[in-house]
Structure 1
């Protein structure tokens, strides 16, 4: 497994610049850093760990864009006095107790290790692969610093979100650029664009669904593609997330050779009083059960790795909504995680973005 505490495993030996005086400090050999980024995770499930994590997350103006004068008193005095208890319980239900970390952390380490191994075969010590989290640890700032210290004169920043949203991709990039602002000698930087319609990503999704269906004697009546929701207002303000999610479902349907009756798009994880993108997954699965669709499968194409929203919300809360409405057979299809086809797709995207830097 990738060792997050040893970010310089691809380092070459440091040396003095050519023609430099003998007392010139040694500098690491120049290399390209590939910095993967995901949402984040609490360090533990206790109240204070959860509170620190939730405070950082819910104080992000990209996530909650209400006026701080109104939002912060509500957040600090009401929400953060209660929510860490319920969120901690939810995390404990899925926690990787053996490694003492969240599944998202475990999976991100596995993805990083697999991507490192594949890219190292191509580029050798010219690349350094690591990961960071937008919220919690390891922080974006700490990983940018580590890459600069290891000799990365160029960094390819890769938010692991197939679809662009201001509350995911944009805030990850904000944090990356903030970290660069603190570097005396800034590396050159590139950001990987969303890959929601990349053929290799669609193929990896399709293969995971085909495997899940092949394992079922009674095939699901409907596949529910559940995407993380955002306020409906964001769509009107120009966020392309909704359109990109719809396109992923359409491309997946075409790849599987299905008609519209066998697949649908929904949105989950609503938070706050506003209307969010609809239909809401928790309501739609109940409606399907009541309409006679007693066997369904649910996948989460917007998540590159299983996390609290998939392992707890989909596989527990949304499953319960379906079964209480009369549903009989609920199949959750895991995220692509460190699946070989997924790693190949991510590495293909990385190679395309390294052109001109490493060919």
Structure 2
């Protein structure tokens, strides 16, 4: 439309809309060597993820690590790959989450909003999706990183990338970034319901809440992730009405030689088996969608560690994914942040 009182030759401008942009970690385009190498290079070059000095890290990364790791990571991705859609499960689930959220947002706000998703690493990139939303007339953006707990290597780097993308826009939209939702009652209830749905009336001898790990020094530097994980586990225990000591908080996906947050999940489940806990369940409250760390690492390496130590009953509780209760949590977070921007 042409702005009111503008001359006849003024360029038309799209009516202003509000964009809802959700962001996940990312995924390789395929499990072949070069797809894996491109993805791992971008991911492991992020200073929020690996903060070693570039002159030390990059020769090691581009040499030894990216020569070997794409092969092993590719084999793991192949085990879980959605061959029908030719994409990773994370991509499939994120698309489904976006569609479900868009349906609810349309019911709530109609054509005032545009809903889309981006990936921090790989495609669709934050640059491309933000540019597409701006061209669609979005003058305001609500940005929701899909990480319940805040951490520098997850939520912060997603926000960093959004701000870098804004630097490329001639006419920048206004932006609101959402707080983490690790202690929201609706999120905790959705987690508890997923436990009940998977286990039924059965209570395991231990429920292991396995969160993605990070170097312990990040905690010492002030990152709140560890504390937020502990609180999520405590609130989950209270919502389930279970006794103290039945839920253990652990950390997985350790990388490199330095000390990471402990206990390590892969070691802890083996110790539980040796202590006589033959029946355990594992849940992943830090992941908004099932991915390589849950479908392959937990159901593969971590399960094997438990069984090789003598355990016999191992149940993985899936992520919330596109469960309606999870989508409603997202909508509520968006609603709180979109206030004043839409009618």
Q: TM-score range by the shorter chain?
A: over 0.9
- Give runs of aligned pairs for residues 231-310 of structure 1, distance below 5 A: 231-310=215-294
Instruction: Find the counterpart in structure 1 of residue 25 from structure 2.
Output: 39
Question: 2: CA distance between counterparts of 1:132 and 1:289?
Answer: 40
2:204 pairs with 1:220: yes
Instruction: Find the counterpart in structure 2 of residue 8 from structure 1.
Output: none
Instruction: Find the counterpart in structure 1 of residue 193 from structure 2.
Output: 207
For residues 81-103 of structure 1, give each alpha carbon's deviation from its aligned partner in whole angstroms, at most 9, with x where no partner exists.
00000000000000000000000
Question: 2: CA distance between counterparts of 1:27 and 1:331?
Answer: 54
Deviating beyond 6 angstroms after TM superposition, the runs of 4 or more aligned structure 1 residues are none
For residues 129-166 of structure 1, give each alpha carbon's deviation from its aligned partner in whole angstroms, at most 9, with x where no partner exists.
00000000000000110111111000011100000100
Question: 1: CA distance between counterparts of 2:26 and 2:294?
Answer: 14
Residue 189 of structure 1 aligns to a residue whose secondary structure is: strand
Instruction: Find the counterpart in structure 1 of residue 44 from structure 2.
Output: 58
Question: 1: CA distance between counterparts of 2:169 and 2:13?
Answer: 16
Q: Is the 8 A contact 1:219 1:295 kept in 2?
A: no
Aligned length: 343
Instruction: Find the counterpart in structure 1 of residue 168 from structure 2.
Output: 182
CA RMSD, 1 decimal: 0.9
Instruction: Find the counterpart in structure 1 of residue 92 from structure 2.
Output: 106
- Give runs of aligned pairs for residues 317-332 of structure 1, distance below 5 A: 317-332=301-316
Shift in Å at residue 255 of structure 1?
0.5
- Residue among 139, 152, 173 paired with 1:153: 139
Q: Is the 8 A contact 1:306 1:335 kept in 2?
A: yes
Residue 32 of structure 1 aligns to a residue whose secondary structure is: strand
Instruction: Find the counterpart in structure 1 of residue 77 from structure 2.
Output: 91
TM-score by length of 2: 0.99
Q: Which runs of 5+ in 1 are unaligned?
A: 1-14
- Residue among 119, 129, 134 paired with 2:120: 134
Q: Which runs of 5+ in 2 are unaligned?
A: none
2:59 pairs with 1:73: yes
Question: 1: CA distance between counterparts of 2:229 and 2:240?
Answer: 17
Question: 2: CA distance between counterparts of 1:67 and 1:19?
Answer: 55
For residues 314-338 of structure 1, give each alpha carbon's deviation from its aligned partner in whole angstroms, at most 9, with x where no partner exists.
0111000000000001000000000
